Structure 1
Amino acid sequence: MIVRYADTPCGPYDEMMLIPGAFDVPSKNKKRLRITRIYVSQKDTMYNGRVNWNIPKHLARFTFSSPPVSASNPTPKHLQISLFPPNPAAINPFFSATVQPFTFPPGLPLNTTWLPSYYGTTTLPPLPSALSALDGAWSADDEQIDVMYAPGTDEWCEFSVIMKSRRARCCWVKVEGPEAGSEEEAEAQRWWPQGKKWKPWAVGLWMENADLEITEGIKWKS
């Protein structure tokens, strides 16, 4: 899931989250969707997300490119998205994808509260503290010291995510990776979660000018 926030208490920023499925919540004997990693372009949201909601946020640089659009048709034909390590000197993305919105049917209203609560509820375990960047990821700059530390928590946290849009439609998603066995692939693997192989869906959901609300987290000790 990729979001471009235009207005938040932390200011505008970009975000990409990985939600591979539902996981057990031991103390409640149920399964809930879980965010296993988020990349964000801004340090304040990284800190707040980890402390307030147990969201495993890490810093990254984002780029977006698309053909020109008009005021009468603001939806681009396609959108190229790339994520880079936070070091400004990094030139190889660790994730790239092209998103192509469907041209038919036209965008329709969507409110995630219309769906069963299971799809809007996320439960996250206690979050260990971690560096938001690997060794050498940042250039030597005093202003960057505080953004490398990502705080942890010692409680579980459950919250709901509500999304609303007047123009939602499906889209094609094509993930583009570096050549297998290349140095670029080895570098990308330092930033991308490894282990069980999984692939994102080829069809996604495109929401324009959406409102996204995250409820206050409910916390408890395990």
Structure 2
Amino acid sequence: MATATRSRTQAKEDFPEAPAPWSTRCETYWMVTQLPSPLPVDIWDPLEATHSTCTVRDFKMGSTGVIMIVRYFDTPVGEYDELAIIPGTFSVTGGPERGQNRSRITRIYVNQKEITFNGRRNWNIPKHLARFEFSSPRTAKGSSPPNELTVTVYPPEGYKVRAEIPFFKATFTTMSWTPSFPLSTKYFVNTKFVQPPIPAGEDTALVGTDSWKSYDVSAWSNRAKLVWVKTEEGRNIVPKGWFPKFKPWSFGFMLQDATLDISKPEEW
């Protein structure tokens, strides 16, 4: 616990704080999957995997998982990109949420250190740094998104693996014959999240915490579209250690000009 406290103190000197709650605007792509139990290797980053709360025994097999690509254009900390995996729900073993099945983000990447710091500090979201590449820029307000978008995510520059080889790559192709429709996260995931304490890393952005945190996430858009999903595997993708293997449904969802809100957490 002392390590987590020291890391938080140092990080406050390095990064601006943006406390919860957050209300954001974004463009987001969702892939839906069902992961096996036990969960696949690399569902956690090696830093969090060493923590006693990162266990597969509380995972509820059969729950729906979501992999999200989010391109934020309006947040308390400016624009940024994000890749997150929510395997499904986990049984909470203590605190006011004891006995409940709640969603949990187990692995997540962003492209800025200050986002890493604030996500970990505010909600115990185990954010790590990565480099993002998109085949098209963010969609301007009032414009239509591209018919096809490829998202490629790489290890951060200067890391010990070859940073030019991605660990995640997916292409989303709009089903042009389908109309836009309203869509909300409540149709796919339990919108109440419970995150365990997270250990601190060597980088000051990787702040550690000592308490459990629960919070609500809501995302919705009046301009959602169905998209075909194709992910890349094989020798052109970084081997294990960065992201779990998963098989998404052949179709997913794109939410244009979406609102994504994250509440102030409760702690115990």
TM-score by length of 1: 0.78
1:110 is paired with a residue whose SS is: strand
Q: Find the counterpart in structure 1 of residue 144 from structure 2.
A: 74
How is 1:1-222 mapped onto 2 (pairs within 5 angstroms)? 1-27=68-94, 28-66=98-136, 74-87=144-157, 90-112=163-185, 115=187, 119-131=190-202, 146=204, 149-179=205-235, 185=237, 187-193=238-244, 198-220=246-268
How big is the shift at 1:190?
Answer: 2.9
Question: Contact between 1:93 and 1:188, CA under 8 Å: does it hold in 2?
Answer: no
- Measured against aligned partners, the alpha-carbon deviations of 1:3-26 in whole angstroms (never above 9, x if no partner) come to 000011111000010111111100
How big is the shift at 1:166?
Answer: 1.8
2:239 is paired with a residue whose SS is: helix
Question: Counterpart of 2:215 in structure 1: which amino acid?
Answer: F
Higher relative contact order (CA 8 A, sep 6+): 2
My pick for the range that moved more, 156-165 or 80-89, is 80-89
Instruction: Specify whether residues 201 and 64 from structure 1 end up closer, same or farther in structure 2 by C-alpha distance, changes over 3 A only.
Output: same
Question: Counterpart of 1:212 in structure 2: which amino acid?
Answer: L
Q: In 2, distance between residues paired with 1:121 and 1:70?
A: 31
Q: Find the counterpart in structure 2 of residue 137 from structure 1.
A: none
- Measured against aligned partners, the alpha-carbon deviations of 1:160-218 in whole angstroms (never above 9, x if no partner) come to 11112120122111110233xxxx55x4323224xxx5323322111001111101111
My pick for the range that moved more, 73-82 or 26-35, is 73-82
- Measured against aligned partners, the alpha-carbon deviations of 1:101-157 in whole angstroms (never above 9, x if no partner) come to 2223211123446x59x62111111112235xxxxxxxxxxxxx65xx401111111
Question: Counterpart of 1:58 in structure 2: which amino acid?
Answer: H
Question: Counterpart of 1:59 in structure 2: which amino acid?
Answer: L
Q: In 1, distance between residues paired with 2:185 and 2:141?
A: 27
1:97 is paired with a residue whose SS is: strand
- Measured against aligned partners, the alpha-carbon deviations of 1:30-57 in whole angstroms (never above 9, x if no partner) come to 2111110110011111001001100010
Instruction: Specify whether residues 41 and 173 from structure 1 end up closer, same or farther in structure 2 by C-alpha distance, changes over 3 A only.
Output: same
My pick for the range that moved more, 69-78 or 16-25, is 69-78
Q: Find the counterpart in structure 1 of residue 9 from structure 2.
A: none
Number of equivalenced pairs: 194
Question: Contact between 2:108 and 2:127, CA under 8 Å: does it hold in 1?
Answer: yes
Structure 1, unmatched stretches of 5+, are 132-144
Question: Counterpart of 2:156 in structure 1: which amino acid?
Answer: P
